[in-house]
Amino acid sequence: MTKLSVNINKIATLRNARGGNMPDLLKTAADIESFGAQGITIHPRPDERHIRYQDARDLKALVTTEYNIEGNPVKQFIDLVLEVRPTQVTLVPDAVDAITSNAGWDTVKHKDFLKDVIQTFKNAGIRTSIFVDAEAKMVEGAAETGTDRIELYTESYAKDYGKGPEKAVMPFTEAAKIAYQCGLGLNAGHDLSLDNIKYFKENVPHLLEVSIGHALICEALYLGLENVVTMYLNKLK
């Protein structure tokens, strides 16, 4: 079974909109775990517009499943991850002003930089993952950095799924095979939803984990959070 890690950034966005502590981010994370999710993901950004750096610290004492912190490895982020020591760190090349992640790493161009950062985290006993596009060259380049895993950036799959799922998933199927041949663990995330997750799971081999936030929280507004987590878990069997 592919693991479900729930990204709770949107819970923090809602909390921050009014100040105070409603909804309670920590309680929500604990509830999501109690509903069966096998991980919690956060993506703190320098402006702390949703997840705050203190949230990352507070969650460390609470999360009992896999704890995944993702973000651009600027110094502030690196320091935070080394302090908190989550289960996994996922490196994402998002710009400071990006609304959301919108590209994977060029693992060829940035190989030396990624190697240094990854070694820093691995020395601290933290599993590493790199956010990459579903391109053979980028997957192969990731393998040369020493990373443990890659996370396939799935926006194009989600965007094209309605036009034809077979064509939409093809690059991801091939990228997954290459990752396996290179000895890389495989994660995936970005715009995966209840509509498209089952087909993705069935057609992308060796998929260890998906990270889902925006769609899951939107679906939960209508269907309820516990129900939606259960629905994802059923589709990932």
Instruction: Write out pLDDT tens, residues 111-124.
Output: 999 999 999 999 99
Is the per-residue pLDDT at 58 higher than 80?
yes
Q: What is the pLDDT of residue 1?
A: 87
Helix axes 225-235, 25-34, angle to 10 degrees: 40
Tell me which residue of 49, 58, 59 sits closest to 16, measured CA to CA: 49
How far apart are the C-alpha atoms of 98 and 50, rounded to whole Å?
13
How far apart are the C-alpha atoms of 116 and 48, rounded to whole Å?
26
What is the arithmetic mean of pLDDT over 132-147? Answer: 98
pLDDT digit string (tens) for 20-41?
A: 999 999 999 999 999 999 999 9
Is the per-residue pLDDT at 96 higher than 60?
no
Tell me which residue of 25, 68, 24, 26 sits closest to 43, measured CA to CA: 68
Rg (CA), the chain: 17
For the chain, the average pLDDT equals 96
Of residues 231 and 98, which shows the higher confidence score?
Answer: 231
- Which of these ranges, 100-104, 110-114, 123-127, 194-198, has the smallest mean pLDDT? 100-104
Tell me which residue of 229, 231, 232, 234 sits closest to 35, measured CA to CA: 229
- Residue 102's pLDDT band (boundaries 50, 70, 90)? low
What is the arithmetic mean of pLDDT over 70-91? Answer: 97
- Residue 95's pLDDT band (boundaries 50, 70, 90)? low
Residue 172 — φ and ψ, nearest 5°?
A: -75, -35
> Which active-site residues does the annotation give?
43, 70, 190
